């Protein structure tokens, strides 16, 4: 594509190729598949936000005795709100690469989950709840800061995982010294 169309935007090269070089019936099927993938990704994200908010935040901290009608209404509002925010964010970043956002989403998941989960699996009873939660929070903050604010010469994922690991190790050592390892629950 670069040889035949040197000035084409890389983000538009695949749809351009499908429209111009593939039979219209097969090209339509390919573009429909892309549309289904986009809609499926957006709906999965929005439903995930709504479910996590209602089950893990609203029911536990805001209203423990919410009725099913209000729960459904709040879930729908969170879904609509998350789709609006995602649309605004997407429109503001039209020229960015999909791979950049894919790597960032994987990095966000890794910095939040990797160290606390591996620590709780392999060092059962040695990691306390507070240090696991704090490592998730500080790991994601370090990842975002090193990818958006601070210019590092390597993958920001390593910064987030390192900070997360340090928080878990220091928290476990502090917990062992101060509480004689009685408050470990992970």
Residue for token digits 């903050």? Answer: 141
Q: Are 136 and 112 contacting, i.e. CB atoms less than 8 angstroms apart? A: yes
DSSP letter for 125, please: T
Rounded CA separation 83/58 (Å): 19
Q: Could you tell me the pTM of the whole model? A: 0.60
Rounded CA separation 45/38 (Å): 11
pLDDT at 76: 94
What is the distance, to the nearest Å, from the Cα of residue 91 to the centroid of all Cα atoms in its chain? 19
pLDDT at 87: 84
Residues of the chain with pLDDT under 70: 94, 97-99, 176-186
pLDDT at 98: 66
Rounded CA separation 170/186 (Å): 15
pLDDT at 164: 93
pLDDT at 10: 77
pLDDT at 181: 47
**CA-closest candidate to residue 132, choices 173, 110, 165, 174:** 165
Q: Name the H helices within 53-97.
A: 68-92
Domain limits, the chain: 97-186
Mean of the per-residue pLDDT values of the chain: 85
Cβ neighbour number for residue 16 with a 10 Å cutoff: 14
Whole-angstrom CA distances from 78 to 1, 40, 61, 95 are: 41, 17, 16, 27
What is the H or E stretch that residue 47 is in?
Answer: helix 24-52
Q: Are 167 and 138 contacting, i.e. CB atoms less than 8 angstroms apart? A: yes
């Amino acid at each position: 594509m670069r040889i035949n169309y040197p000035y084409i935007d890389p983000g538009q090269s695949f749809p351009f190729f499908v429209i111009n070089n593939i039979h219209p019936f097969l090209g339509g099927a390919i573009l429909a598949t892309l549309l289904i993938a986009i809609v499926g990704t957006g709906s999965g994200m929005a439903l995930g936000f709504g479910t996590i908010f209602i089950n893990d935040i609203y029911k536990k901290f805001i209203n423990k005795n919410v009725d099913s009608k209000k729960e459904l209404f709040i879930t729908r509002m969170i879904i609509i709100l998350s789709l609006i925010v995602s649309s605004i964010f997407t429109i503001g970043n039209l020229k960015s690469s999909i791979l950049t956002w894919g790597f960032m989403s994987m990095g966000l998941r890794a910095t939040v989950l990797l160290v606390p989960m591996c620590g709780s699996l392999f060092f059962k009873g040695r990691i306390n709840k507070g240090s696991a939660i704090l490592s998730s929070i500080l790991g994601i903050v370090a990842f975002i800061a090193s990818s958006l604010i601070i210019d590092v010469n390597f993958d920001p994922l390593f910064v987030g995982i390192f900070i997360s690991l340090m928080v878990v190790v220091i928290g476990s050592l502090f917990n062992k010294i101060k509480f004689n390892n009685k408050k470990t629950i992970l």
